[in-house]
Each structure stands twice: as C-alpha cells, then as structure tokens.
Structure 1
Amino acid sequence: MNQTHAVLNQDVIAQLIARPRGEDPVVSLYVSTNASDWRAALKSLVKEGEAQIEADTGWDEARKKTARRLLALARETAEERLQGGARQRRSYAIFVDPAGVEVVELPLTVRERVVVDRSPYASPLSSLIDQYERYGVVFCDSKKARLFDVYLQQLSDWEELEDEHQPHRHAPAGGPARRGGGPAGGYHGLEELRRRNHAEYLLHQHLRRVADRAFRRFKLRPYDRLILLGPKEVLAKLEEHLHDYLRRRVVAREPAPSDLTPETALELVCGIEERVEKEKEEALLREIEERRGKSGLGAAGLDESLRALFFGQVDVLVVADDEPIPGRECPECHFLFERPEDREDTSATLVECPLCKRPTRRVPDIVDEAVELAILSGARVEHIAYCKPRLRDLGGMAAVLRFK
C-alpha cells in the first residue's frame, strides 16, 4: 500500500480537511514517542478503535471488515515508527484509508488518541497550527542586531548583523579633537555637537539596515506576529523605520541581554508568546460574552453553537482540544448535535435527527466535525489553549455570529 510522509504545515492540514467525505473508513491514529510504555498505550488505542467500529450504525459488515484491516495497518505503521530508528520526533499523526497511509511528523507532543470515521481527524493538527503562530523576532541595540523566527517552539533562520559604520577608536567621530587652551577651546562645544550628530547618523543608518533586512525576511517567509527585543530607546527608533506591514504585527517590545544566544532567545520568546496568546484568547471570550448580552451576536455551549453553525451564522468558531466528545450527525441534512447518552453507550443505537427526523449516525468527536464544517463554510476557527476553564464555563464551545 502507498505510504507518504510529511512534516506538519498549513498545506498538510488543508489537504486533509479538503478530502471528500464518503462512506469508506478512515483511521486517524495519534501516537507519541514520549509514552513510558508505548506498546500498552498502542494496544489500548487499538481496542478503543475496534469499539468505535462496532458502534457505527452506518457501516455494513463489509465496511467494518475494511475498517478493522485499516486499523491493523495503522497499528503496524505506529509500531515501525515507535520502535525503529525514526524517533527524533515527539509525536506522529497516522492517517490510513483504502488508498494508502500518510504519516505526519509532529515537532510537539499531542495527546494520544484514535478516531475511526469517514474523513481524517485533523482537529488536533489544526489546534497546533492555530495555537503556535509564526513569530518573527528582531533583537537590536545601537551596534548589532539578531533576526530569527520562532514557530512551533522551534527557532530557525538565526541571522546576525553588525553596524558597518561604527567609528574606529583612534579616529573619533567628527574628526580629531582640538587640544590646548586659547581660542581653539571655544570650538569644543561645536565639536561635541558634531560628534553627537554623527553618532545619530550612524544609528539611523544601522536601524534602517536592520529594518530593511527584517522586511526582506518577511517577504521571503511571512510571519503572523513580530517581537522586538533590546533597549527601549533603540526599539522606539527602530519601530519608526519599520515598514507598515511589520509595525502592524508588533505585539511585544521587551528588554534582552546584549549577549543574546539562540537558547536564551527561544526561552524568552516562548514566554512572550504564551502571554500574547493568552491575552488574545481572553479578549475573544470576553467579546463573545459581551455580544451575547448586547447584540445577540454570540453563541455559547454545544447546542447554541452547533445550531448557529448549521444555519451559516458563525463567523468565528471557538473550540478547545480536549477529550473527544461523541455526538451525532445526520447523513441527510448534516445537522450536528450532542447526545449525552453516547458518552457511555457505545452500542449501535438508531437515533433520529431533531430537524429532518432521518436516522443519524454516531461520530467519535463532534468538535472535529464542527471544525471541518466551519472551515468549509468560510468561518474562522480559534482553538483555546490557555483559557480552557473559561471556555468550559461557556459550555465547551462558543462562536462569534455574523447575524442572528
């Protein structure tokens, strides 16, 4: 069977989500090399997958047999990855369908899980991409600069710039100073002014060069946000030289040691990133609460959010990467709804759709189905990572609405 390998990026997720949804089984298996006993963990995941297959009321025995075969192939692929020489990555997402196997290498640890459904379970990958935006970082003082990117908690493209116009020690800026007393001493103030003006000119040239380089890097590999590191007075002047595209992306201006190393820089930026993302999540959830109270253009809870999604009202869907929530989907009208009994009852049970009264099918994770539907409908999806308790208070899912 054909097997492909990929590293996590936006294109990989887009391709997974864009796969047409049919009736053939698709196995999605997430495994981690960090598990203390990965064999036992994998065995438990396979057992859970088998239970999902048995509980699916939409498949006949032939398709269930196919699903079991694909699940066994996913297990074999996971065993090869976990016990072989390819353990440099922390986690793997493995997708198996009748056409082949796709292995996505993940630079971060994700929760182990298995989903047997009719399309790839890509919500955890979408959550990673959404949580970890690409950050451009510029460290700058009056004499040097360091430029680099941080994405998925990994530092890349480290570049060092030195001021090309620093004056030599034996030749003070502005020319040699006059010595002695008499009338020549009267020129001391003018000489000092020339020296200061020349230093300002050199700083201006240095900052312009740094800003130009930052913009060139942005054009080659765009980033979502920009962090400025260095002395406060230098950063204020540097920001004046930045292109407007970059100024609009600045989210933090922080001091940093002059002997900044890649290791120190990564630790510093990850702390800033966590603070920025938490503030963004708090602002979004606060906006939804205000919209619910004032204009009615906010939804909270699974029932409200899923109904709004079905009727095309959702502008931004807000979810969290928590434990999968089993639910129901109508194959006819595609309405999604939660049935609390499905959390405990994994037997094959026929349940009618609340809207069209047709038989529905059980889905392993209603949140993943909602994410897929939101993306296909043109809505933006925001994954909450740092404010999960607040989202749970809102019912586990929320939305900003386009209209009532």
Structure 2
Amino acid sequence: MADLQEALERLRLVESASTPVLSVYLELAPELTEKRSIGARIRDLLDPIGKLAASGDLDRRSSKSLRCGVQRAIGMAPDLTTELGRGVALFICDELGLDEQLTMPRRIWDCAIAGPRPYLRPLQAAIDSYRRVASVVIDGRGAEIVVSHMAAEVERQAIEAEELRKSDVAGWHGLEEYRHRHHAEEVRNHLFREVAARLDRLRRDTGVDLVLVGGQVEVTQALLPFLDERVREMTDTFVADLHTLTPAVLAATVSELEQAHRQREEIRHVDETYATAAAGGLATIGVNGVLKAAHHRAVSLLLIDHGAWRDGMVCSDCGALALPAPACPQCGGETEVVPDVLEALSRSVIDAGGVVEHVDGSRQLTDDLVAARLRFVSWA
C-alpha cells in the first residue's frame, strides 16, 4: 500500500487536453454476496458517462476513447472479486494508453468521473487517513517497536532489558531484598529511558505522528512519564497480553486504534475551526467562503466532508474556482466547467502548501461541506 503515494504523485502529472480520462472508484464490502453486484454497480456508475460518449457532444476522438474506457472498466468487474473488503480505483484513457488499477484498504466513496485529469480526491482522502504509527509492546523484560505506515511495516526494533538474577529474598535477608528490588527498578527505568529515546528519534527522523503502547496497565502507565512531552501528546495506550499477542492481533489492534485516533483528531479540528469562525478569527465556513480564501492562497487547513461533491467552474482568466455562475465572481471573466469543484479546491490548497483532511461523521460538515483554517484574511 506504500505505493499509493507514488501512484498519486504520478497521476497528478497526467493531463489530456483532447480526450477525457476516466476515473472510477468502488468500495467493496467483505461479504461474498458482494461479488454478484460488482458488475451492475460499475455499469450504473458509468451509465451517464456512456451516454455522454454516445451523445455527439464530444468530438470523435474523445467519444471513441471514452467508449473504450467505459467498456474496459466494465470488463474489469470479474477481476475485482478478489478485492472484497477494500476500495478499488481505476484510471483509464485509451488515447493516452493509461490503464491503471489501485487497491486500498481504506473505505472510499463510489463515483465515476471523466475529465481532462484523473479524479484523485478519493485516493488523496484514503492516503491522508493514514498515520505513521510506532506501536510499542513492552513488559519488564524488554520492548519491541514496530513502525508502520499505510498498513505496511516500515521498521522493527527490539530492546532487551538486562537479565535479572533470581535472588532468594525470603527470611531475614532484608538487605538482599532491597538490593534486588533496587536493581530491578534500575533495569526497568533504563529500559523506559531507552524506549523513550528511540521514540523521540523516530518522531524527529521518520515523521512518526502516533505512538501506541501496549502491555499491562501498570507497565504502560509507568512508561509515560519518561516520554518527551511531544511524544507523550501523541501517545495512546492499550492493554495487551504478551503471551497471547500475535502479529495479526497486534496489526488489527493498531489499525482499530489508528482509525479511532484519526476520527477524534478530525472532529477536534472541525470543532476548533467552527469555534474560531464563530469568534471572528482566522477561519471560514461553507463552499463560497473557502473558495474565495483558496483563491488568495490563504487556506492552511481544509476540512472536507467525506464523499461530498459539488459541480463548479474555473475562471479562464484569473484561475478562481467557484460554484456554477454566469461569470467569474472574482474578475467577471469567462469560465470552464470542472466536474467536482471540491477536487480542484483540494489541489489548490495542497499546491499552496496547505493541508487537506477528509472528515467522516461530522454533522456540521455534512451541511456545510467544507471549512477552513486561514493564514490571513487581508483580502476581505
């Protein structure tokens, strides 16, 4: 799955001024009954595009290329039965020789778009949903750190504590008992300091932005004070029985905790953005306000409702994005249709150095579609 970022960067460079690029996204449920519906769902998604190709509104080359793309996508349906429980993206342009299928474990929304560029917002949303995670499994004898990103293991480190000699601490051997316990505490603290140092290096050197520490409660809680404050702020803990913890169970636990962390973080960003806007601060809510801010390269964080979609236009003169209107609201110039103005908005924000988050489960964004934190509002 780590190749998804590579594919995204490569597809960003694809552009066809003469023939449309067909982009199809399909979310496949894990149930076996899903196999029977894949073909019908793809045909339903592609029906409007097939009608466009046959309508005579396009030139001959574009119509032929688009018809070939639709037929190719429908023909791929039987091959997609092996991808149940995942999301699938297809990018096809017969004229360009583009024929690419991507698979991702994160859920996406069903859609099909034909345009001059590949439609990449669902793919970007899937990639953005991942965190670079350092999962730590720890007890008094050692620790293991596994760094993962996009469901793939990136790095693994093992740390062994100093072996303790068993001591007879019974009877009147109070001094021996004290020495044993003192030594055990020193060994444990040394282990905690080493784990903390490695996690801080991973944060600085590899961009780890989520730490998950598993083990017995008393051990995981004892580790926390040793962590750098910046690491501690991104750390969650979970209970794990190291005797029964398998790699598969750990991976499933990490995936579940990562998703829960992402959802909490996204909702927090939404709440903070709406509160800032209500107080008259550097934030704006709704499509028109955010489009205007993006035109002035003022958006630092763009929040988009997961699966939202709006028709729009782009000005041929000043490049401003807007909802459908007779002329550009910025300069009055002529405009061209864009299939999804939120896709173009996302590209614009990223190109200007901003961050885009697709948020699932926010009632506020369901109504407003987008919200943004701003760098400045001096154009207003």
TM-score range normalised by the length of the shorter chain: 0.7 to 0.9
Deviations 1:37-82 (A, max 9, x none): 22212222221223556899xx8524xx3254145235425634x4
Instruction: Give 1:194's aligned amino acid.
Output: R
Contact 2:22 2:92 in 1 (8 A): yes
| Other-structure match for 1:347 | none
| Other-structure match for 2:87 | 91
**What displacement does 1:196 show?**
0.9
| Other-structure match for 1:165 | 162
| Other-structure match for 1:362 | 337
The answer to whether the aligner puts 1:275 opposite 2:260 as a matched pair is yes
Q: How does 1:205-354 map to 2 (within 5 A)?
A: 205-211=190-196, 222-239=207-224, 242=227, 244=228, 247=231, 250-259=234-243, 260-339=245-324, 351-354=326-329
Instruction: Give 1:320's aligned amino acid.
Output: D
Q: 1:383 to 1:191 in 2, by over 3 A?
A: same
Q: 1:109 to 1:164 in 2, by over 3 A?
A: same
| Other-structure match for 1:344 | none
Instruction: Give 1:30's aligned amino acid.
Output: Y
Contact 1:29 1:74 in 2 (8 A): no
Distance 1:71 1:325 in 2: 25
Deviations 1:201-224 (A, max 9, x none): 222343355456656776885432
Q: 1:358 to 1:178 in 2, by over 3 A?
A: closer
Contact 2:19 2:65 in 1 (8 A): no
The answer to whether the aligner puts 1:115 opposite 2:110 as a matched pair is no
**What displacement does 1:263 show?**
3.4
**What displacement does 1:249 show?**
6.0
| Structure ranking higher on relative contact order (CA contacts 8 Å, 6+ apart) | 1
Larger Rg: 1
| Other-structure match for 1:403 | 376
Of 134, 137, 150, 2:135 maps to 137
Q: Taking every aligned residue pair, what percent have the same amino acid on both sides? A: 24
**What displacement does 1:372 show?**
1.0
**What displacement does 1:384 show?**
0.6
**What displacement does 1:158 show?**
8.6
| Other-structure match for 1:346 | none
Instruction: Give 2:164's aligned amino acid.
Output: P
Question: TM-score w.r.t. structure 1 length?
Answer: 0.78
Q: 1:42 to 1:296 in 2, by over 3 A?
A: same
| Other-structure match for 1:49 | 49
Unpaired segments ≥5 residues, structure 2: none
**SS where residue 82 of structure 2 aligns?**
coil
Contact 1:316 1:382 in 2 (8 A): yes
Q: 1:144 to 1:284 in 2, by over 3 A?
A: same
Q: 1:315 to 1:163 in 2, by over 3 A?
A: closer
Distance 2:67 2:205 in 1: 41
**What displacement does 1:117 show?**
0.9
Unpaired segments ≥5 residues, structure 1: 1-5, 180-184, 340-349
Deviations 1:295-338 (A, max 9, x none): 34211111111111112222211112314322222233222222
Distance 1:108 1:162 in 2: 32
Q: 1:312 to 1:212 in 2, by over 3 A?
A: closer
Question: TM-score w.r.t. structure 2 length?
Answer: 0.82
Of 97, 100, 104, 1:100 maps to 97
Contact 2:69 2:92 in 1 (8 A): yes
What is the CA RMSD across the aligned residues, in angstroms?
3.4
| Other-structure match for 1:386 | 361
Instruction: Give 1:196's aligned amino acid.
Output: R
Contact 1:33 1:91 in 2 (8 A): yes
The answer to whether the aligner puts 1:25 opposite 2:20 as a matched pair is yes
Instruction: Give 1:319's aligned amino acid.
Output: I
Deviations 1:184-240 (A, max 9, x none): x5xx22221111111122223433554566567768854321111223443344345
